[in-house]
Amino acid sequence: MGKSIISSKIIILLISFLFILISCISNTDQTNNREYNLFSQIMCPICDGQTIAESQASIAEDMKKMIRDQIKDGKEDKEILKYFEERYGQEILSNPIPKGFNLTIWIAPILIIIISSTITIYSLRKNMGTRSNNDSF
Amino acid sequence: MNKLLASSVALIIIGFFIIIIISTINTGGQQGRPGLNEVSGEVSLNFNKFKPIEGDDIYGNKLTEQLIDEELLVIDFWASWCPPCIQEAKVLSDSYKYWKDRNVRFIGIALWDNDKSIKSFVEKYDFQYDVTLDKDGKHAINYGVKALPEKFFINKKGDIVKKYIGPIDKESLDKIIEETLD
Amino acid sequence: MTVSSLGFTLLILTLNLCLYSIIGSLIGVRVSSNILLKSCKNASYCTLITLGLSVACLVYAFVTRDFSIKYVFNHSSLSMNPIYTWVAMYAGNEGSLLYIGFIISVASFFTLLFLPSELNDAEPYLVSILSGFLLFFVGVMVLLANPFETFENIPKDGRGINPLLAHPGMFSHPPLLMAGLATISIPFSLIVSMVFTGKFRNDGLDYVRTTSLLVWSILGVGLLLGSWWAYTILGWGGYWVWDPIENVGLMPWLIMTAFIHSIIVQRRRGMFRVWNVILIFLAFVLAQFGMFINRGGPVVSVHSFAASTLGYVFLGFMIFSAIFCLIVFMLNSNKIKSDNNVKSFLSRESAFLINNFFLVAITFVTLWGLIFPLISEVFANETVTVGAPYYNSVNGPVILALLFVMGIGPNLSWRKTSNKNLKTNLLLPVSLAVILFIILLITTSRPIMSSLSLSVLMLVISTILIEWLKGSFRLTKGGVPWFISFFKLILNNKNKYGGYIVHISILLVALGVIGINFYQIKVDKVISIGEKIDIGNYKVELIEIRNNEFNDRREKIATFSVTNKEDELISIMEGNNTFYPSFNMASIRAAINSNPVEDLYVIPSDFISESKMKIIISINPLVWWMWIGGPIFILGTLISLWPNKLLKEK
């Protein structure tokens, strides 16, 4: 009997927590933020590791203005990014273009994670059940 | 199996260090002030087609559009507040006076600047070539300018032949112009 | 004698003390001379005094504005707020080295002072390794980066501190982060000396755990404070941008996290010995990598020390420490075998293993992203930038999996768990998580990842709470009120519940991260005085723009009033944009109205005219929880660290 009271208390507490969480976040709906998405894909050339979205340097402000103008002219996101890449080289983009050698950036970690996890599981399997002498308590 | 694993891990670690060493040597372990090219030298180009420069110069005259009729066009991105640009101002002013009769044209594009300080700078160093204020950095972005000063050398065909960053000295400037004119 | 020469003399003295205690300890072990060993230990204690005085000299020079010292000239000025002169000593390269040296000597002092008697025969090695580490920093200062270098002609005024550093965060984030990175040397040298003496068994393992927990929490709090600083003040609109400098601080922390988990397994089950040694070596080398990247490494970052030429020295030291670790490991690998193996995939130890695996994986992914631009430059001859999208997309799922293990792990028992047990323990949390997932999937149009991560969070929080509540209700049966039994439970098993509290704090940080990553609203707007902008449930109105001119800066302050949809005032908030002409740099402070549900965040990015300005407004849901996570994190660590003896005496 006592046990069921305990678990019902827990359930009530957790469920109320769940609903608080949901009410916190579901009232905001997504706004389309094309401008900002573009800004965060272009690095500020003079700011060492900041995108123009984060930077207030004059060149970053100018780039933002240029992107807004290009959006007004009806350019696609791809064209805009291409425009900057042609002029500043690939390093202006905050994410490498997924082709050629750049693919290794995604492939290498995934590959290594897969390989090392297989090795770990394999060696665990092999050792499981052997050498149990110390395990006597 | 264990040996294979150990040696591959060792290989990765060694590779990591080699990469780090090479890149440290490449950068020389030093960086300059942001936005300014304090070290000079020719750098590789990201693109090589001339992009037209339209607009008015600081006195309100239209910049002629047929810039590349000349044998050689030198576009200089600079600013009156930029120390390396001040350093090279006299060189530019003098060498233009020397080269202008040989169909070499200079254009100065000032960035993040105002009319007043540009004018007083131009008068102080007696720039006889066209100088324009780049509003909103349009030309600079169009040319992929990162820091000041940067120069582009454009031949008659409209190809950008060379890009030079940082303050230039007389010898380098003359050498590049001579090479391009040939 | 001037302050500068006194400070430098003290540095040279420290250098000699270090040399003496390294060589002396090694000879002392050879000839087993206890007097020599004792004297070396005392020499190591003395570095605390000499370096402490040296730090005092530099601080004194800053406070009295002694511009005859180059370092003081470069990092302070007459117009700077006096309070920052007390902390300006670690604003630059040379001074921060001095600070790090001082921290190492403090940490070594306490490590040696409280060294348990089981580790007595490891002590000489410990003294020499710690002194060797200190020697490097002191040596660099004496030979290459002297903080006490003077001018012949004394300038009237200094250059001033980097404006981005003149902020309350300066008192906490840099000192903690540097201290955390430097003191990884403590558990590292403890383990190396234990390995040397062939004693890497259970003796003294508690001491290793205590020191690593301390180091780990200092580093963790330092990172979180940096994140908070970047969020509130720099106005970069981000708490974490995967900047190289942030990453090199994060990586050792991740490895240390793995270490403090797997050391539990070693203590309980005598397993993972080799792995633990590898982890601590890795953490140490990564910390040296961090120092290197910070001081003239090949990677550009917003926060690295400007134009440092010490890159090669720190590179050399990092390679040296890696080779040192490798040699120590190879020579002693036969001494550090484990007693046991993992018995079942469904066991506590395998959960720890998986946790370690994910933590190392995150570290690897981060390191790979950090050095990929260098690799690409060398092999493909192309400069690329690796920004936040890569880290988020690759690390995101791994972190989520890690959180999942964090939820399941505590429900697994050592050696082998029965399926039935697992089912009863996980039934409620899993069903709650599934319900949440379904509700979110129906009600929102966000990417599936957001719903998934919130559900995982739900799962983990509910498993921890259930475990906890069950325990405290069980204790209640004796008639004790439940809240008393709740605290009693913590005291009964401090390690376990301290750990749970830390887990909860990590979950709160994760909640903030999920909120800002998946549910943020952000707009760029131009606003004039009197104009109102609608965003979310708020209306933001620009009330006024004020200008303040100072000697060294131009301050522009914008005042906003925030009302809800019914035009009831919620708050008045201020953001400022301060320009420092001598640095050609602006420091921006965002206007923030924070509550547990969401932050209204306004960045005054540019002032167009007297009545018009550009702002970036965003609504960042749940970020409040992230900063609450900090104190809870500290609380949890303290509970785990609190010594049992003290409690018994009470």
Cis peptide before C481 (omega within 30 of 0): no
> Which residue in C259, C319, C296, C238 sits closest to C516, CA to CA?
C238
Yes or no, beta carbons of A135 and C243 under 8 Å apart: no
Strands C612-621 and B160-165 turn out to be unpaired
Q: Which domain holds residue B122?
A: 41-181
> How many domains are contained in chain A?
1
Q: Calculate the alpha carbon distances from A93 to A38, A83, C395 in Å.
A: 10, 11, 20
pLDDT band at A131 (very low <50, low <70, confident <90, very high): very low
Q: Does any domain span residue B36?
A: no
A21 touching chain B per CB within 8 A? no
User: Per the CB < 8 Å rule, is A48 touching C300?
Assistant: yes
Which ranges constitute the DSSP H helices of C233-310? 244-269, 273-294
**Average pLDDT of C174-178?**
92
Which residues of C are less than 8 Å from B35 in CB distance? 584
For the entire predicted model, the pTM comes to 0.89
| Residues B59, B117 within the same domain | yes
The answer as to whether A18 is a domain residue is no
Tens-level pLDDT at each residue, chain B (182 residues): 567 777 888 888 888 888 888 877 776 544 455 667 777 777 777 777 777 777 777 777 777 655 556 678 888 998 888 888 888 888 888 888 888 888 888 888 888 888 888 888 888 888 888 888 888 888 888 888 888 888 988 888 888 888 888 888 888 888 888 887 77
**B161 and B112 co-located in one domain:** yes
CATH number, residue B157 = 3.40.30.10
Q: In this structure, what DSSP letter does residue C301 have?
A: -
With a cut of 80, say whether residue C557 has pLDDT above it: yes
Please enumerate in sequence order all residues whose Cβ is within 8 A of that of C161, keeping only pairs 6 or more positions apart, or say none: C75, C76, C77, C80, C84, C88, C91
Give me chain C's average pLDDT, please: 86
C-alpha separations of C551 from B123, C548, C554, C560, C581 in Å: 31, 10, 8, 27, 10
| B52 lies in some domain | yes
Task: Please count the CA atoms within 13 angstroms of the CA of C85 that sit on its side-chain side.
Answer: 23
Structure-block tokens of residue C129? 């390794």
Residue A117 lies in a domain: no
Q: Quote the pLDDT of residue C39.
A: 93
pLDDT for res A38: 86
Chain B residues within an 8 Å CB radius of C251: none
**B70 and B127 housed in the same domain:** yes
Is residue C188 predicted with pLDDT exceeding 90?
yes
Residues B7 and B74 in one domain: no
| Residue keyed to tokens 């970036």 | C616
Q: Is B22 found in the same domain as B74?
A: no
Return d(Cα C416, Cα C307) in angstroms, integer. 55
Mean pLDDT (whole number) for C241-268: 90
pLDDT at site C141: 92
* Residue A87 falls inside a structural domain: yes
Tell how far CA C25 is from the center of its chain.
Answer: 33
> B100: which 2 tokens?
């202008």
Say if CB C458 and CB A18 are below 8 A apart. yes
Q: Which residue of B has its CA nearest to C583?
A: B33
| Residue B53 and residue B114 in one domain | yes
Mean of pLDDT values over C476-485: 69
Strand order in the sheet with C591-594: C521-528, C612-621, C598-607, C591-594
Q: Judge whether A53 lies within some domain.
A: yes
In a domain, A65, yes or no: yes
Q: What is the CATH number of domain C521-621?
A: 2.60.98
Q: Is C375 on the interface with B (CB under 8 A)?
A: yes
More reliable by pLDDT, B25 or C185: C185
**What's the whole-number average pLDDT of chain A?**
76
Say if the Cβ atoms of A10 and C428 lie within 8 Å: yes
Closest partner residue to B30 among C296, C322, C371, by Cβ? Answer: C296
Which residues of B are less than 8 Å from C93 in CB distance? none
Domain count, chain B: 2
Whether residue A43 lies inside any domain: the answer is yes
Q: Which residues contact C553 (CB under 8 A, 6 or more apart)?
A: C163, C578, C579, C580, C581
**Is residue C544 scored above 80 in pLDDT?**
yes
pLDDT surpassing 70 at residue C459: yes
Q: In whole angstroms, give the CA distance from residue B15 to residue B33.
A: 31
* pLDDT surpasses 60 at A29: no
Does residue A78 fall inside a structural domain? yes
Chains that touch A (3 or more CB pairs under 8 A): B, C
- Domain coverage including residue A59: 34-92
**Domain shared by B10 and B92, yes or no:** no
What residues form DSSP beta bridges with B159?
A: B49
Q: Is C541 helix (H, G, I), strand (E, B) or coil?
A: strand
Q: How confident is the model at residue C178 (pLDDT cuts 50, 70, 90)?
A: very high
Task: Establish if A69 belongs to a structural domain.
Answer: yes
- Chain B: give the shortest CA distance to residue A59, in Å: 7
- Which of A6, A22, A54 to mutate: most C Cβ within 10 Å? A54
Q: Are residues B149 and B75 in the same domain?
A: yes
* Portion of chain A with pLDDT greater than 70, in percent: 69
Interface test with chain C among B5, B16, B25, B113, by most C beta carbons within 10 Å: B16
Top residue of C251, C375, C585 to mutate, by most chain B CBs within 10 Å, is C375
Would the ipTM clear 0.85, i.e. be above it? no
φ, ψ for residue B171, nearest 5 deg:
-60, -50
Q: Do B15 and B54 belong together in one domain?
A: no
Which member of A14, A53, A117 has the closest CB to residue C237? Answer: A53
B49 in the same domain as B1 = no
Q: Tell me if A49 and C300 make a contact (CB, 8 A cut-off).
A: yes
Angle at C591 between CA C587 and CA C592, to 5 degrees: 130
Which CATH number fits the domain that encloses residue A60? 1.10.8.640
Residue C577 has pLDDT above 90, yes or no: no
The residue among C364, C381, C382, C578 with the most chain A CBs within 10 A of its CB, best to mutate, is C382
Residue C267: both structure tokens together: 């203590």
Query: Are C371 and B27 inside 8 Å of each other by CB?
Result: no
Q: Which residues pair with C544 in a beta bridge?
A: C559
Domain-located, residue B144: yes
Write down how long chain B is.
182
Residues C375-384 have pLDDT tens digits of 888 888 888 8
Q: At residue C42, what are phi and psi to the nearest 5 degrees?
A: -65, -35
User: Do A113 and C398 count as a contact with CB atoms less than 8 A apart?
Assistant: yes
The lowest-confidence range among A13-27, A50-64, C1-15, C580-594 is A13-27
Q: Is the pLDDT of residue A27 over 60?
A: no
Q: Which residues of C43-67 are buried (b: 16+ CB within 10 A; e: fewer)?
A: bbbbbbebbebbbbbbbbbbeebbb
Say if B72 falls within a structural domain. yes
CB contact residues (below 8 A), chain C span 121-160, against chain A? none
CB contact under 8 A, C341 and A21: no
- Output the pLDDT for position C284: 96
Please check whether residues B21 and B79 belong to one and the same domain: no
CB atoms within 10 A of CB C561: 16
Mark whether B64 and B8 lie in a shared domain: no
Enumerate the domain spans of chain C: 1-166, 171-407, 418-518+638-649, 521-621
